[in-house]
């Protein structure tokens, strides 16, 4: 299924663990590493395709993850002619992708690279969020960089905030009554160099609920 410009609709998946490391998979029988991705079938929404690919490629089900965010628009890359079948040349140009940022709420042992009889990966590891693009197929690198950059603003920051609380963030007591009551001055004592941030999850739900553009 191609659009009028010759691009096949596709989804990409960035899967986080609780330390904001990402699933990094080695493509079967190659030396290339990549994120899970796959085509959107006719009649599927990007989200439906994402959950199908998530199970087919890494063995996870919807209750193993939560959706953190997704890209607003399609990200496109062109495939060089030497990688395109001869009968598709002149028609197929590449892929346009919606990328999803997911967080694993299950366990490492829930992942299964042999969930189907056509595995995509033969090895995987947790990698730092900013993956090494030099091991990605060259024509995909631009899309990877764009997706990682756009979605990085939604990385959960719960660990950082909890670390501030554990390190002794306190509220100073007011020296006198406030509105007739003994209360708090509203001034926080933070660790050196720290700043107070609101809940990083605020507003995230709107991004999750944003509907993907439909393929022509």
Task: Assess whether 18 and 122 both reside in one domain.
Answer: yes
- Give the C-alpha separation, 98 to 49, whole Å: 10
Task: Assess whether 164 and 137 both reside in one domain.
Answer: no
Task: Assess whether 166 and 85 both reside in one domain.
Answer: no
Is the overall model pTM greater than 0.75, yes or no? no
Query: 46-71 burial string, b = 16+ CB within 10 Å, else e?
Result: bbebbbbbbbbbbbbeeebbebbbbb
Q: What is the pLDDT of residues 48-97, one digit of tens each?
A: 999 999 999 999 999 999 999 999 999 999 998 888 887 777 788 999 99
- Give the C-alpha separation, 145 to 126, whole Å: 18
Query: What average pLDDT does the segment 21-31 reach?
Result: 95
Number of structural domains found in the chain: 2
- Can you tell me whether residue 54 is helix, strand or coil? helix
The answer to whether residue 213 is domain-embedded is no
Q: What is the pLDDT of residues 40-50, one digit of tens each?
A: 999 999 999 99
Q: Judge contact between 139 and 78, C-beta under 8 A.
A: yes
Is the CA virtual torsion 186, 189, 193, 199 positive or negative? negative
The rounded percent of the chain whose pLDDT value lies above 90 is 64
Closest CA to 55 of 125, 106, 3, 127: 106
User: Do the strands 121-127 and 75-78 form a parallel or antiparallel pair, or are they unpaired?
Assistant: unpaired
Task: Assess whether 163 and 101 both reside in one domain.
Answer: no
pLDDT, residue 168, reads 46
Task: Assess whether 11 and 44 both reside in one domain.
Answer: yes
pLDDT, residue 8, reads 95
Task: Assess whether 185 and 111 both reside in one domain.
Answer: no
Q: Which domain holds residue 115?
A: 7-156
Which phi and psi angles does 23 have, rounded to 5°? -65, 130
């Amino acid at each position: 299924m191609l659009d009028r410009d010759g691009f096949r609709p596709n989804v990409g998946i960035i899967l986080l663990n609780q330390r904001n490391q990402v699933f990094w998979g080695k493509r079967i029988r190659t030396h290339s590493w990549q994120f899970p991705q796959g085509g959107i079938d006719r009649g599927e929404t990007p989200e439906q395709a994402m959950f199908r690919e998530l199970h087919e490629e890494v063995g996870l089900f919807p209750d193993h993850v939560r959706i953190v965010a997704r890209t607003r628009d399609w990200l496109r890359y062109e495939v060089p002619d030497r990688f395109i079948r001869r009968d598709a040349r002149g028609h197929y140009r590449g892929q346009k992708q919606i990328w999803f940022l997911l967080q694993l709420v299950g366990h490492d042992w829930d992942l299964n690279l042999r969930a189907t009889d056509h595995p995509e990966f033969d090895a995987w590891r947790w990698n730092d969020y900013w993956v090494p693009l030099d091991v990605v197929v060259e024509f995909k690198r631009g899309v990877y960089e764009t997706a990682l950059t756009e979605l990085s603003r939604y990385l959960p920051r719960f660990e950082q905030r909890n670390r501030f609380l554990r390190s002794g963030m306190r509220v100073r007591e007011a020296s006198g009554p406030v509105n007739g009551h003994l209360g708090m001055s509203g001034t926080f004592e933070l660790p050196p160099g720290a700043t107070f941030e609101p809940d990083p999850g605020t507003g995230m739900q709107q991004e999750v609920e944003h509907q993907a553009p439909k393929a022509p």
